[in-house]
Amino acid sequence: MKIKVLYLSLWLFLAFPIEGYPQKVSLSLTAAIDSALQNNLGLQSAFQKVEAAKAMVPMGFNLDKTQVFYRHDQNDIAENGFSNKVFGINQGLQFPTVYGKQRRVLEDMTLVEQQQYLLTQNQVIKEVSQTYYTILYLQKLEYNYRFLDSLYQQFSNAADRRYDVGETNYLEKLTARSKMRELAVRLAQTTESKNQALVRLEQLIQVGSVFEVPDQPLDLLLISEWSEDSHPGIGFYKQSVQWKTDNVTLEKQRLLPDIYGEFFRGTNTGPNARVYPGIQVGVAIPLWFGAQKAKINSSKYELMQTSLAAENYTFQLDNRRRQLEIELQKYQEAISFYTEEGKQLSRQLITQGNQAFKGGEIDFFQYVLLIENSRNIEVDYLINLQGYNMTVLEINYLINP
């Protein structure tokens, strides 16, 4: 009976081997970016800062607490000879224009946080794109190194057999083994780099499931044009300057007099008691301006500092873009060589090498060198293509000059 149960369990396991195992999701670049925008906790944290700033805007109209009071003064004698008991309320408020400017400053802070969020979003999109294309690059590099690794394993085995029968010397055997080990190390390093990039992508998109990046063509990326009006970094500094400007105006308006009003009613419990209403209004005029003038001067310096930082950011951003465009030309030259000559040369090396080896014109060692040279042309192209695409993404999402 136990044997039948064991047999049945084994049959179920073999019949449904994937049950309980997570299935890998094929992830496109668009899906990766969308997932990062929805799930990235750092981006969500930046968004909450925007919401917190929005929630602060109504505080622009922040009246002081209303005072309710009771006063009994023995000197306050009514007509019936009894002292009055007075109940009343008073309210103080700043000069009315201050509240409008306070709200404007808080709205400026919200816009600054929104621009900061766009900067963070831009950075996340750039990192996701760079990581995704790095994985594609490493997958193709891994394919080339795996091919060469297999080829040199065959070469090493052939060299060992030839050495055993005395058809070659020990130097060729050592050369074959060293090349095999070299390619094995390159392959292992490339695989580890690819796995590391996959972990980095998971860290960015936080998709919560197992995914894979499907093999696909690795093409040249295009440069996206952006203007100063649409750049989040420049927008951040422009809005920061506006914030500091409004803050200077606000600090100046705090020198305006405060206004207060008081309403009260007095009466007593004696015979023929009457109700005595009253009202009192006034202004609070600052007699000592030193502290507020210090705040005004400080806010002016902050405005000047922010304005200079904005100018420097714009200058450095343009300069950095020009540097990256020059760097792009370096990769473009290598890519153009591959497109115009290298790709055809690589194919010819393989074709001619196969014909020469089959015809006995070259030995296996020479054949392997030809194949390696062909693959090295492909590898060099991939390396320059990766550098080109990373530079294009840096230009398209340029934030930090």
* pLDDT tens track for 197-226: 999 999 999 877 788 899 888 889 999 887
Mean pLDDT value of segment 350-360: 78
Mean pLDDT value of segment 135-141: 94
For residue 264, the domain's CATH number is 1.20.1600.10
Tokens of 341: 């000559």
Q: What is the pTM of this model?
A: 0.82
DSSP percent split of the chain into helix, strand, coil, nearest 5 = 70, 10, 20
347 within a domain of the structure (yes/no): no
More confident of the two residues 294 and 288 = 294
pLDDT higher than 70, residue 20: no
31 within a domain of the structure (yes/no): yes
What per-residue string of b and e applies to 48-59 under the rule 16 or more CB within 10 Å gives b? eebeebeeebee
Q: How far is CA 85 from CA 69, 263, 281, in A?
A: 11, 14, 21
Mean pLDDT value of segment 283-305: 90
Q: How far is CA 74 from CA 58, 81, 269, 377, in A?
A: 44, 11, 14, 105
7 within a domain of the structure (yes/no): yes
pLDDT reported for residue 63: 84
Residues 300-342: pLDDT tens digits? 999 999 999 999 999 999 999 999 999 999 999 999 998 888 8
The DSSP output letter for 18 is T
96 within a domain of the structure (yes/no): yes
SS3 label, residue 49: helix
Q: How many CB atoms lie within 10 A of CB 69?
A: 11
Residues 246-273: pLDDT tens digits? 999 999 999 899 898 999 999 888 888 8
169 within a domain of the structure (yes/no): yes
pLDDT reported for residue 8: 39
pLDDT higher than 50, residue 181: yes
DSSP β-ladder status, 83-93 and 211-212: unpaired
Q: What's the number of domains the chain is made of?
A: 1
Whether the CB-CB separation of 246 and 104 falls below 8 Å is answered with: yes
pLDDT higher than 80, residue 360: no
pLDDT reported for residue 156: 72
pLDDT reported for residue 174: 75
267 within a domain of the structure (yes/no): yes
Phi, psi of 72, deg, nearest 5: -135, 110
Mean pLDDT value of segment 232-248: 94
- How far apart CA 253 and CA 235 sit, in angstroms, is 27
pLDDT reported for residue 62: 85
DSSP per-residue letters across 308-348: HHHHHHHHHHHHHHHHHHHHHHHHHHHHHHIIIIIHHHHHH
Q: How far is CA 62 from CA 57, 93, 244, 326, in A?
A: 10, 9, 20, 54
Helix or strand run (H / E) with residue 245: helix 232-253
At residue 287 the predicted structure's pLDDT band, cuts being 50, 70 and 90, is: confident
Domain residue limits at 44: 2-302
- How far apart CA 300 and CA 241 sit, in angstroms, is 11
Residues 28-86: pLDDT tens digits? 999 999 999 999 999 999 999 999 999 999 888 888 888 998 998 888 888 888 888 99
pLDDT reported for residue 348: 85
* Strongest mean pLDDT among 4-18, 23-37, 361-375: 23-37
The pLDDT mean for the chain works out to 85
395 within a domain of the structure (yes/no): no
Distance of CA 82 to the CA centre of its chain: 75
Tokens of 225: 């044009």
6 within a domain of the structure (yes/no): yes
